[in-house]
Chain A
Amino acid sequence: MDGEELTEQETALYDRQIRVWGADAQRRLSKSHILVSGLKGTVIEFCKNIVLAGVGSVTLIDDRVVTEELLAANFLIPHDENMYAGKSLAVLCCDSLKDFNPMVRVSVQKGDLSSFGVDFFEKFNVVVVSSCSLSTKKLVNEKCRKASKRIAFYTVDCRDSCGEIFVDLQKYLYSKKEVDEMVECLLEYSSFEEAIAIPWRSLPRRVSKLYLAMRVIERFEELESRNPGDTSIADLPDVQKLRKELCEAHSLSESMIPDALLERLLASTTEFPPVCAIIGGILGQEVIKAISGKGDPLKNFFFFDSMDGKGIIEDISIVKAEG
């Protein structure tokens, strides 16, 4: 209820979505600031969704120079080498995103994501990272947790026709309608580091195989100092060896991480646009929920695999002792 009313222009533009989440939520959206790093197809989809939704500002980080491969699932950059030669992904995407909604400030932040301090992240309500190493994910997540106010942290990655979202809302209090009364709900999230440290034996019994496979590959890239996503089918034997080690350490059957799945995840270097749209859509919805306080946010992993078509939520968090 706080803050100024929506302008006439905002009411007209956002009419259909205000009918979904209400004017209050729309006001909160328009005051939120989002940081996004790693501009591949899924994140581009996400950016489109939140710019259309009418957040306050979006800040883009990605100094990579545009290549054909990076454009595979990118609809923001004109397909003309003369237009993009030498420019960074962030700069080119920024120009295009601004166009989607003149009421949202879109800007570029240069530099390496891991080099920024807590004070930098404190300027944002939401931080979304993609295409980055395991250590950077952990580091940025920790910095967000150290900030003086709550910053919602998300990681998102797509490989082949699969996608994964991780969510850390720390302590998240919201009210939801149950039958006829509003009930206060408190969700306690684990950090990325805490979540992935949970012994595999204590995970939910039929946990998504995708969760385990992603952890193996993530670890492999870390050990080999690869760039995120820089793998090929040639890596399969080494990855299978790592799988064996990890499964033995966790006393879990290797069959929980099938070869066929590892092959798919390793072989792909380009994204599958329909999956980018789906994962980018789910992520957009989650960020809108977290900002607006409307709706149950997902806790704390989401997986989609177009092979079986299921979009699954897994709760992989440490259970804190009472008191």
Chain B
Amino acid sequence: MVSEQQLSAIKGSKVLMVGAGGIGCELLKTLALSGFQDIHVIDMDTIEVSNLNRQFLFRQSHVGQSKAKVARDAVLKFRPNISITPYHANVKDPDFNVDFFKQFNVVLNGLDNLDARRHVNRLCLAAGVPLVESGTTGFLGQVTVHVKGRTECYECQPKPAPKTYPVCTITSTPSKFVHCIVWAKDLLFAKLFGDKNQENDLNVHSKDGSSSSKQAEDVFERHKEENLEQYGNRIYDHVFGYNTELALSNEETWRNRNKPRPIYVKDVFSSDLASQNGNLDKSSNGDPPSLSAMASLGLKNPQDLWSLKENSKVFLEALKLFFSKREKEIGNLSFDKDDQLAVEFVTAAANIRASSFGIPLHSLFEAKGIAGNIVHAVATTNAIIAGLIVIEAIKVLQHDIKNYRMTYCLEHPSRKMLLMPVEPFEPNKSCYVCSETPLDLDINTHRSKLRDIVDKIVKAKLGMNLPLIMHRSALLYEVGDDLEEDEVANYAANLEKVLSELPTPVTGGTILTVEDLQQELKCSINIKHREEFDEEKEPDGMILSGWIQPLAAEKNGKTTVDNEVSTSSASEAVPLLTEDDDDLRIIPTITGKKRKLSDVANERKNKRKAEEPNSKNDVVLLDDEKF
């Protein structure tokens, strides 16, 4: 039972919950039972069937409705006298500004993506409101407390970049099934059904580096005289046959690799050409969402492994269904894990490619998990984590600073513990978010444009929404609704200018000030001119650094070690687990390093009284490829 003091702190508090999903449902319930009277909930999502196994406030009849609103109604049934204010909105909306955040005593995150977490972290820092952050994956979870000036902020430890793959691995030398999935989803699917104007690396580059795309552009266009069957066969032969032959012609590539086998329609269906057609008529009354090549081919179990022939049938059938039944969407489609036909197409295409490259095939169920980057999620972990969040929230309300803990929920016990509390870490003095330490940017100021800085650094790396860039007192760039026409034109022109040719030239030694007015985040960037960059390792042509990792530094016995935050390096941070549906992305580099919990604790034990787990433990807190 809670003490009188605790109860009055709880009753007098106003809390903001961000996210009403897996953790959110459990959290809202536990807050209400614990006596919280004034709870605000933000969630932009609507309810889906696959939520129902764990988001227990929702029922089948709620599918399609706002999570925040349905969750509120469900909780009021057993606690009718409390106030719950739902917002069916994105937490990044400008309405949720610093003043909005200031009205709360504590903010509790149950979010599913890094972007929103960073945004909330900044608003909490700017508003001076404590944040309790959380995440789960399968049986693993964690809860952390972030109080400005007292503990590290959510961004004090750089977060791992999303999983990415080098272009050439995807286009020419896949060695894992996930490479085939990325190819099928981001290249082939996008090429056939997506925006034609998007850049696409689908076609194999020949040895001299020149792309065959000039003539290939026409390959994907359906000829006037061609029926859908002929078109499908031609696409099949081109991407699985011709492109593979072309890749094979580059002998250097295959010196140390197994050569792929080109696959043509005639090879797969040599004996029974007639049977390659699915029974289109059977499925002809299907509405677009339920349209299925599997169904029309009589394949039922999504966990079954299909043969090359079955995959080929699904591929041709799905392609035909898209062009015959969903032609209006063609040109605007992007892959969606809840689009059955899209998942079937991608599964089949990835499997045919896998077959060609000697990679083991996967079921539709598995392929969907990889393509949709679907998280593993169970109700129990979410319930445990929600309980831990409330315990920390009550401490925060009582300013019980010495008892704040970050807690890991483990799958295998470490030093007899399944729930392992650790003292929170101090703020990272070099964190550009919660301290005022400047960042360094190595860049070629004679070649790179302002746009490169805005896109690759300010937005992608620093996570700013509405950035403003200044050089001393001169504004170089700004976004907003209240700009004059000439200002807009001026900034647009600046974007395309090379740095050293800007009205106030940016050169080596320049200090840029970057600011996001919504997040009330401001930081300085020291520009250092550098002539050359390694195309493979530093594909952005710039390197951001200065976001130092104090722990690695301690371990190495040095005082400071720069942690490059270039696109190419996966940061060695303590990642926060996420209930996350973020997409896989392709960029021309490899990344991803597993981090063991034992390492984390061991590195930190000298300075802080972290309880280091025994060495047998190998809980990997960073989820790798998601199967």
Query: Which residues does A use to contact B, with CB under 8 Å?
Result: 5, 8, 11-21, 23, 41, 45, 48-49, 52-54, 72-80, 99-102, 160-161, 267-278, 280-282, 284-285, 288, 295-296, 298, 302, 304, 306, 308-314
Contacts and interface: CB of A to CB of B under 8 A. Distances in A.
A313 B376 contact: no
What 10 pairs between A and B have smallest CB-CB spacing? Answer: A311-B419, A277-B387, A309-B421, A281-B384, A273-B33, A278-B387, A281-B383, A274-B387, A268-B1, A274-B390
Contacts of B52: 13, 101
A308 B54 contact: no
Given A15-B53, A17-B377, A271-B1, A45 B418 contact: no
A12 B303 CA distance: 12
B418 A313 contact: yes
Contacts of A19: 369, 374-377, 626-627
Contacts of A296: 412
A200 to B, nearest CB: 18
Given A20-B378, A53-B378, A99 B59 contact: yes
Given A48-B379, A274-B391, A277-B26, A15 B50 contact: yes
Interface stretch (B73-81, B450-458, B495-503, B529-537): B73-81
B383 A12 contact: no
Contact of B381 (A79, A281, A295): A281
Contacts of A5: 301, 303
Interface in B372-422: 374-384, 386-388, 390-391, 405, 407, 411-413, 416-421
B539 interface: no
A271 B30 CA distance: 12
Interface in B42-96: 49-50, 52-54, 56, 59-60, 75, 77-81
Nearest to A12: B49
B29 interface: yes
Interface in B440-487: none
Nearest to B626: A19
24 contacts: A8-B300, A11-B303, A12-B50, A14-B53, A15-B374, A17-B377, A19-B376, A23-B303, A41-B33, A53-B380, A79-B77, A79-B78, A100-B56, A161-B1, A272-B34, A273-B390, A274-B34, A274-B386, A281-B379, A281-B381, A284-B380, A285-B139, A309-B419, A310-B421
A310 B417 contact: yes
B362 to A, nearest CB: 13
Q: With a 10 A CB-CB cut-off, give which of A19, A79, A80 has the most chain B CB atoms.
A: A19
B302 interface: yes
Interface residues of B, number: 59
A45 B77 contact: no
Interface string B326-339: 00000000000000
A302 B418 contact: yes
B128 interface: no
A75 B33 CA distance: 7
A16 B54 contact: yes
A198 B34 CA distance: 37
Nearest to B415: A312
Contacts of B29: 75, 277
A306 B390 CA distance: 11
B606 to A, nearest CB: 22
A75 B79 CA distance: 8
B1 A160 contact: yes
A16 B33 contact: no
A13 B30 contact: no
B166 interface: no
Contacts of A41: 33
B75 to A, nearest CB: 8
B489 interface: no
Given A14-B53, A17-B378, A274 B138 contact: no
B274 interface: no
A16 B78 contact: no
A36 to B, nearest CB: 16
Given A53-B380, A273-B30, A284-B379, 4 more contacts: A17-B54, A48-B379, A161-B1, A309-B419
A16 B420 CA distance: 25
Given A15-B374, A16-B53, A19-B369, A49 B379 contact: yes
B79 A79 contact: yes
Q: With a 10 A CB-CB cut-off, give which of A74, A282, A302, A309 has the most chain B CB atoms.
A: A309
B134 to A, nearest CB: 13
B458 to A, nearest CB: 35
A296 B59 CA distance: 32
B112 to A, nearest CB: 12
B365 interface: yes
B418 A282 contact: yes
A178 B491 CA distance: 59
Contacts of B381: 281, 285
Nearest to A23: B303
A274 B30 contact: yes
A79 B80 contact: yes
Given A73-B33, A78-B78, A313 B413 contact: yes
B49 A313 contact: no
B39 to A, nearest CB: 14
Nearest to A15: B50
A149 to B, nearest CB: 26
Contacts of A101: 52
A269 B1 contact: yes
A88 B298 CA distance: 50
Nearest to B392: A309
